[in-house]
Structure 1
């Protein structure tokens, strides 16, 4: 396996790792207000998240910025809580301004998540002479992993909405509540665990 394939694979497995479920929860929180028919909006949303986390992942990995790892471990579940709480506040989220707010969440909170990814990536890159190719490969792997999460979540949503006839507002309420509760637990663990 060459260097590109190695870091691409590490990016995929890092985001899909169930033990690091914080990033999975964030992607679910972002996507829970959409259905498969909104795939263009979701593509923009996931791209905004990728731009955000790619930027800080690169800056932190290249040592242009440095942020306390404990602070990032606290802020990541806070981003999840804010995103899922916003879904709960407005279950009419499929209209206008609320969608745009979700894009801003994806971009801005992606910056924070990128700092979380950077701690993992920096530990791997210590022995590499050039980090540009591994950084690109890792980011592409993260993006593919995110798309896997989105497709799986939207497929599950499709089954619930179109086969089991659950109302979309109810599904937003259920999924966002579950994600919110898990994020509150993660915040507690980051502070007192």
Structure 2
């Protein structure tokens, strides 16, 4: 149980700490187009991200998939930029028009999962159950993402529903913040 708690906390901190700014920005960009009334859709979206993240994290920890760390660190902010651009291109915010988000969350989760794989692989002792440790880590990650999303959704309710700011301005504002910070990360991590 001690190992489970350790990896659960590690997963939680992977999304909640300022060292995880790229993950927070991705969740911000991904959930910027939703309102509190869309909370079920957002939970499915975040779970799709976690599934993608978990899959490549597991494949990488078991050394089935290996990708150069520099490429992964470069691609992670690219996923944030792409998600923010997708938000700017939205004409309306109906569930039907946002279906592509589920694919983006799953696909970009695959990229983000590669970013933590080497670190967690070295942390795991040979006698630990990798499966159980990975489950605990991903469960902590999911809990952290849900907390971040709920904060964003509550803030959106306050700004859009209570203060009556146009929804598109809200979406564009959050997306612009995520875009600018992530674009700076892309430049800093440029590998070409």
TM-score range, shorter chain: over 0.9
CA contact (8 A) 2:39 2:153 kept: no
Instruction: Specify the alignment match of 1:123 in structure 2.
Output: 122
Unpaired runs of at least 5, structure 1: none
Task: List structure 1 runs of 4+ shifted beyond 2 angstroms.
Answer: 126-130
Instruction: Specify the alignment match of 1:60 in structure 2.
Output: 60
Number of aligned residue pairs: 191
CA distance in 2, matches of 1:93, 1:85: 15
Matches within 5 A, 1:88-103: 88-96=88-96, 98-103=97-102
Q: TM-score, normalised by structure 1?
A: 0.94
CA 160–128 in structure 1, closer or farther in 2 if over 3 Å, else same = farther
Matches within 5 A, 1:13-92: 13-92=13-92
Aligned Cα root-mean-square deviation (Å): 1.5
CA-to-aligned-CA distance 1:9-51 (integer Å, 9 cap, x gap): 1110111111220001101111011001011211211111111
Instruction: Specify the alignment match of 1:172 in structure 2.
Output: 171
Q: TM-score, normalised by structure 2?
A: 0.94
- Pair 1:108 & 2:107 matched: yes
CA contact (8 A) 1:11 1:137 kept: yes
Secondary structure of 2:64's partner? Answer: coil
- Pair 1:182 & 2:181 matched: yes
Higher mean alpha-carbon deviation, 15-24 vs 127-136, is at 127-136
CA distance in 2, matches of 1:3, 1:30: 31
- Pair 1:146 & 2:145 matched: yes
Higher mean alpha-carbon deviation, 137-146 vs 112-121, is at 112-121
CA-to-aligned-CA distance 1:68-124 (integer Å, 9 cap, x gap): 00000000000000000010122423352x311111100101100111121331231
CA distance in 1, matches of 2:155, 2:118: 32
Secondary structure of 2:187's partner? Answer: helix
